[in-house]
Amino acid sequence: MLILGIESSCDETGIALYDTALGAGTPAAGLLAHALHSQVRMHQDYGGVVPELASRDHIRRLLPLTRVVLKEAGKTLAEIDAVAYTRGPGLAGALLVGAAAGSALAMALGIPAIGVHHLEGHLLSPLLAADPPAFPFVALLVSGGHTQLMRVEGVGRYELLGETVDDAAGEAFDKSAKLLGLSYPGGPALSKLAQEGQVGRYKLPRPMLGSADLNFSFSGLKTAVLTVVRKDGLEDTAHTQARADLARAVEEAITDVLTAKSISALQQTGLKRLVVAGGVSANHRLRSRLDAAAAKLDARVYYPELALCTDNGAMIAYAGACRLQLQAAAGGFEAGPYRFDIKPRWDLNSTAIGA
């Protein structure tokens, strides 16, 4: 089965082609081609994503990117067996672009269209790595809008272990960066600045680090950063070392909490595999800390390929392929009816089989 994947949930347009026959042994082998367009430059002038501009850019990019991917894979539209698109969560207008295009294309070709949960795409993306994890595993989903710990028994078999009660880890990175006057996107800019920083100059809180549960909270950290910035006048870029030291303190605080909670999840579940996915999974400091902590438990951490950490079409194509295969095993699937309803707010737990 040849699956076309479409990702358009926020500020990146991603297209990919996935072949289930080639991916039967090693999932990565099934990824024939993928392409991504980032809107970062367009949104930089505004300091964040402008939903209307994001939607319009998806319209401009989607079909040209599809042609690029088809050409790279040596395939034609007529060879596609199904279309997978991001149904949610995300920006409503941006989601509508991918849903409308995916459903219209599927209807024109008389093939199935399936709406994929954006976080399920991230959760399964490490399976596209050269050395993928086996089920079951603990998954840390960590991005600009989500921070969750899940127990994953298989595709569609998820148990929520803990989640953020306010800001996500990615938001804490981005908002702290904005307070320091760093350019959008803030998270990568802050992490780059943190490389020049020294540990110990600033002491920031680790919210909920000592709680008995596996939940997270990062809003208090953002407030603490604001206090330091105002007190020491760090809006002024002349304070080069102090700004770097604060960036390092922010990164240390966030990675401290993420590492501690993830290790607790492994201990509580008794599992030895941890999957980390989402945009923040690209953070080098987080990776090094998780790897070191997991090694002490004789456990292992798995990550997506760096190119697949941010939003991308490959993860949507693969997640769609997995869901379609489950439907086929349960008695098959039909080409219609076609619709492009979206779910800007969509709980991943609600997609679990039997939910």
pLDDT in tens, 55-68: 999 999 999 999 99
Is the predicted pLDDT of residue 258 greater than 90, yes or no?
A: yes
By the 8 A CB rule, do 293 and 140 touch? no
Q: List pLDDT tens digits, range 90-143.
A: 999 999 999 999 999 999 999 999 999 999 999 999 999 999 999 999 999 998
Using alpha carbons only, what angle is made at residue 222 by residues 219 and 223, rounded to the nearest 5 degrees?
Answer: 90
Q: For residue 109, which amino acid is it? A: L
User: Element (H or E) spanning 154, and its range?
Assistant: strand 147-154
Confidence of residue 171 (pLDDT cuts 50, 70, 90): very high
Percent share of the chain, pLDDT over 90: 88
Confidence of residue 202 (pLDDT cuts 50, 70, 90): very high
Q: List pLDDT tens digits, range 263-301.
A: 999 999 999 999 999 999 999 999 999 999 999 999 999
Closest of 287, 311, 223 to residue 12, by C-alpha: 311
Closest of 81, 85, 88 to residue 112, by C-alpha: 81
- Cβ neighbors of 265 (< 8 A, separation 6 or more) are 138, 140, 149, 151, 161, 162, 214, 274
In the chain the domains, ranked by start, together with CATH numbers, are: 2-125+309-351 (3.30.420.40), 135-303 (3.30.420.40)
Average pLDDT, integer, range 305-320: 96
DSSP-assigned letter for residue 214? S
Q: List pLDDT tens digits, range 213-229.
A: 999 999 899 999 999 99
State the pLDDT at residue 355.
59
d(CA 308, CA 312): 6
Confidence of residue 354 (pLDDT cuts 50, 70, 90): low
* CA dihedral of residues 263, 267, 273, 274 (deg, nearest 10): -30
> Taking the model in full, what pTM does it have?
0.95
Residue 64: CB atoms within 10 Å? 13
By the 8 A CB rule, do 155 and 322 touch? yes
Is the predicted pLDDT of residue 257 greater than 90, yes or no?
A: yes
Q: For residue 201, which amino acid is it? A: R
The rounded mean pLDDT for the chain is 95
State whether residue 86 is helix, strand or coil: strand
Dihedral class, residue 127 (left if φ above 0, else alpha if ψ from -120 to 50, else beta):
alpha
Is the predicted pLDDT of residue 210 greater than 90, yes or no?
A: no
